Chains A and B, each alone.
Chain A
Amino acid sequence: MAPLTIDTLGTLARLHGFDWTDTELEALRPGAEVAHAALETLRALDLGSADPTTQYRMF
């Protein structure tokens, strides 16, 4: 898994329209690394053609 740099975090934030300072991004990094690792596990799953529950009418 590639490390999550301040530059990468800043780029992601700007893509969402946020302009955070380096200090703010640095404060975010520990939590972001945990979240990034969790998302990597999600990205690695072989989910096949399982229907997503995006239209949430499960019952």
Chain B
Amino acid sequence: MSELVWKSATDLRRMMAAKEVSPVEVVRACLDRIGALDGTLHAFITVCADAALDAAKAAETRLVSGETAGRLDGIPIGLKDLCDTGGVKTTGGSKILADRVPAADATLVRRLKDAGAIMIGKLNMHEFAYGPQGLNAHYGTTWNPWDAETHRIPGGSSSGTGAAVAAALCAGGTGSDTGGSIRIPASLCGITGLKPTYGRVSRAGVLPLSWTMDHVGPMARTAADCALMLGAMAGYDPADATTSVLPVPDYTVALTGEVKGLRVGLLRAGFVGAAAPEVASAVERAAKTLESLGAKVDEVALEHLDVVPAASFAIVAAEALAYHSRWLRTRADDYQPDVRERLRLSVLVTGEDYVRAQQVRAWVRDAVDEALRHRDVLLAPSTPIVAPRVDEADVDIRGRRSDVRSALIRFTRPFNLSGHPACALPCGFTDSGLPIGMQIAGRPFDEATVLRAADAYQQATDWHTRRPPVG
């Protein structure tokens, strides 16, 4: 297998600019690896080999003539299969939309292509993004690449992106995050994933789960690559009224490797203290690492965490039912069982519940703002557990049983309610070799500081450089 597939997008761009490598070589290497491994991993729903090679040849021609389409020129990426791609199937990981071919690209897809990114295929996901495990009865549940022997979940809903990036089938990819669906697979697969501020990246052309909770963002092996991708994806879009008109900075400029004086709030109550011991220890060590780099770490608590699950459920359930009711009436049997059941539970939510949940949401937003009043970022585990086996319904956390689904979304959901940006990245491994993830959350539209902290941590550690045993 070519070593090229393990290069970061940032390194590939440098190598391509120096004419040390051709986009065609890189794309071929990724396609070869997909051919060799994806029969087991099930990370892709659709592979666009011919189109990717054509795009790579065009990038090579530009390179030879000294031109460039943009900062992602020649970089192979995968797209979660809920991002519309003109002329290419976009299924949402479902049977219901199995033959759906959009006429046009989603705004973020168009922007990534305009920056020169090469779309190598469409990535598997939990059906309709409605689950944090990454289960898929229609296209096969993606394998977590960190265990070649036992089928462990990759986390979801952006399961295919997590596994494909971790196993070096592509340099980066897109995810969407309604309750943690970027950060959970990033955590369980040992990669980096950024949920931007609500309104930073357009959702136009992205299949919805919950309009007010959905965030779209980049997933890659490094924070630097997430910065590169976010710069291409972000910005105002008249097709999505919730996007901000705030200018998009060059996020790569923020990556100074410096965190001296950065004020970091460590979330122990409800986060570190509620995580499995190996996870908690890894995050505590990460806080010490940041401190050793000059950051000022103190402990902080978030108010209103106890009502986050109820408010999240009411909002997501009501909005998901609004989108799915037509098919739930006519094609209920075409949903996989866990998604059908979750959609059916929506009938419990009243209009009053929905509005009360939105009131709680204002509380949670204010609570996160308050925690950040005298701090630049917050630090917490991404998930309380590492990747469970696909057949595990419950897990033990500090002597208490919890269902896997509730456990996975426990630490990520507060930042979906609040809308603040949060980046998940690897911060250790268990004795059994499974990755542990932490998240760094920041102020609204201050992705630059979040990415700076994540990048500085990665410059000082090597967790993100480890390779899974598959392939």
Q: Which chain A residues have a beta carbon within 8 Å of chain B's beta carbons?
A: 9, 12-13, 15-18, 20, 24, 27-28, 31-32, 35-36, 38-39, 41-43, 45, 47, 50-54, 56-59
B338 to chain A, nearest CB (A): 10
Q: Is A31 within 8 A of B310, CB to CB?
A: no
A9 to B346, CA, bound (A): 11
Q: Is B347 within 8 A of A13, CB to CB?
A: yes
Q: Is B307 within 8 A of A45, CB to CB?
A: yes
Which A residue's beta carbon lies closest to that of B313?
A38
A43 to B212, CA, bound (A): 21
Q: Which chain B residues have a beta carbon within 8 Å of chain A's beta carbons?
A: 197-199, 212, 242, 244, 306-307, 309-311, 313-314, 317, 321, 325, 328-329, 341-342, 344-349, 352-353, 355-363, 365, 419, 444-445
Q: Is B310 within 8 A of A59, CB to CB?
A: no
Q: Is A43 within 8 A of B353, CB to CB?
A: yes
A39 to B345, CA, bound (A): 12
Q: Is A32 within 8 A of B310, CB to CB?
A: no
Q: Is B341 within 8 A of A27, CB to CB?
A: yes
Q: Is A39 within 8 A of B314, CB to CB?
A: yes
A54 to B211, CA, bound (A): 11
Q: Is A17 within 8 A of B329, CB to CB?
A: yes
Which B residue's beta carbon lies closest to that of A49?
B359
**Residue among A12, A32, A41, A56 with the most chain B CB within 10 A?**
A56
Question: Given A42-B311, A56-B212, list of 9 further CB < 8 A pairs?
Answer: A12-B348, A13-B347, A28-B345, A31-B342, A39-B349, A39-B353, A41-B310, A42-B356, A57-B242
Q: Is A54 within 8 A of B355, CB to CB?
A: yes
A52 to chain B, nearest CB (A): 4
A11 to B5, CA, bound (A): 55
